Each structure stands twice: as C-alpha cells, then as structure tokens.
Amino acid sequence: MIMEVFHTRIEADGKIQLPPQILEQLDFESGQDVELEVENKSVRVSLARAERLKRAQALVRKYVPEGVSLVDEFIEDRRREAEND
C-alpha cells in the first residue's frame, strides 16, 4: 500500500479539516460519526461502529428482498437441522 501525505491545519477551536481527497478515498460523508484512535502520538480516523454497521446493513439489503428476515431464516434452518439429528 502506498502512503499518501496530506497537510492541513489545526484551527483555534481544535478542529481539523480533512482534505477532500481523503474524504473521497475513505468514502466519508458530511455528518458521519468517526472514531479517533490515539497511539504513539499518531491518530487513526475511522468510521464509528454505528456508521460501519449502517454500511454493512445497506450492502446486505441489496441482496435480501424487502420483508425477508435473515435472522428468522437462520433460526428456521437451525430448527430443521435439529429435527434431522
């Protein structure tokens, strides 16, 4: 992986504006919650868990018809397997 370096400034109120190229590469959108991890004087920015969950749900929803519950189908499959044992 090639590391890119971007420069920005810390504002008087502590805000840091991420350059548009970073937002685009990371597929971040305005208003999304992010997590900041601090380790060895470095900061890692990632989508908050709730945002990652929303993205995962949206991805799965593309392949699951409306009104279908994967949880219910999974439980029913396990019940059928238990009956066959």
Collapsing DSSP states into helix, strand and coil, what is residue 84?
Answer: helix
Q: Is the pLDDT of residue 1 over 80?
A: no
pLDDT in tens, 6-64: 999 999 999 999 999 999 988 898 888 999 999 999 999 998 998 889 889 889 889 98
Collapsing DSSP states into helix, strand and coil, what is residue 39?
Answer: strand
Distance (Å, rounded) from C-alpha 30 to C-alpha 20?
11
Largest CA distance in the chain: 67
Distance (Å, rounded) from C-alpha 69 to C-alpha 76?
11
What integer pLDDT is reported at residue 36 of this predicted model?
Answer: 94
pTM score of the predicted model: 0.57
Torsion of Cα atoms, 71 then 32 then 45 then 3, to 10°: 100
| Domain range annotation of the chain | 20-84
